A and B are shown apart, each in its own frame.
Chain A
Amino acid sequence: QKEVEQDPGPLSVPEGAIVSLNCTYSNSAFQYFMWYRQYSRKGPELLMYTYSSGNKEDGRFTAQVDKSSKYISLFIRDSQPSDSATYLCATLTGANNLFFGTGTRLTVIP
Chain B
Amino acid sequence: DTAVSQTPKYLVTQMGNDKSIKCEQNLGHDTMYWYKQDSKKFLKIMFSYNNKELIINETVPNRFSPKSPDKAHLNLHINSLELGDSAVYFCASSQEPAGAAYEQYFGPGTRLTVT
Tell whether A and B belong to one assembly.
yes
B14 to chain A minimum Cβ distance, whole angstroms, is 24
Q: Which residues of B contact A65 (CB under 8 A)?
A: none
Question: Across the interface, do A98 and B41 meet the contact criterion of CB distance under 8 Å?
Answer: no
- Number of A-B pairs, beta carbon distance below 8 Å: 57
Given contacts A44-B43, A45-B106, contact A96 B101 (CB under 8 A): yes
Also in contact, A88 and B101, with CB within 8 A (given A43-B106, A43-B107, A96-B48): no
B11 at the interface (CB under 8 A from A): no
Main secondary structure of the interface of A (DSSP, over half): strand
Check B4 for interface membership: any CB of A closer than 8 A.
yes
Q: A88-B43, A96-B97 are in contact. Are A32 and B108 (CB under 8 A)?
A: no
Instruction: Tell me the bound Cα distance from A103 to B108 in angstroms.
Output: 17
Interface pair A98/B109, CB less than 8 Å apart: no
Report Cα–Cα, A86/B37, bound state, in Å: 13
Tally of contact residues, B, Cβ under 8 A? 25
Q: Are B48 and A97 in contact (CB-based, < 8 A)?
A: yes
| Selected contact of A98 from candidates B55, B101, B107, B108, CB within 8 Å | B101
Closest to B94 in A: A96
Given contacts A43-B4, A43-B107, A43-B108, whether A100 and B102 have CB atoms under 8 Å apart is no
Task: Tell me whether B106 and A92 are in contact (CB under 8 A).
Answer: no
Whether A98 lies near B45 (C-beta < 8 A) is yes
Query: In the assembled complex, which residues on chain A have CB atoms less than 8 Å from the CB atom of B41?
Result: 86, 102-103, 105
Nearest CB of B to A1, in Å: 15
Q: What 9 pairs between A and B have smallest CB-CB spacing?
A: A43-B106, A96-B97, A96-B101, A32-B102, A100-B43, A97-B45, A103-B41, A92-B102, A102-B42
Write the residues of chain B forming the contact surface with A, with a CB cutoff of 8 angstroms: 4, 31, 33, 40-45, 48, 55, 57, 90, 92, 97-98, 101-109
Of the A-B pairs whose beta carbons lie under 8 Å apart in the complex, a sample of 7, sorted by A's number, is A43-B107, A44-B106, A86-B41, A95-B55, A96-B101, A102-B40, A103-B42
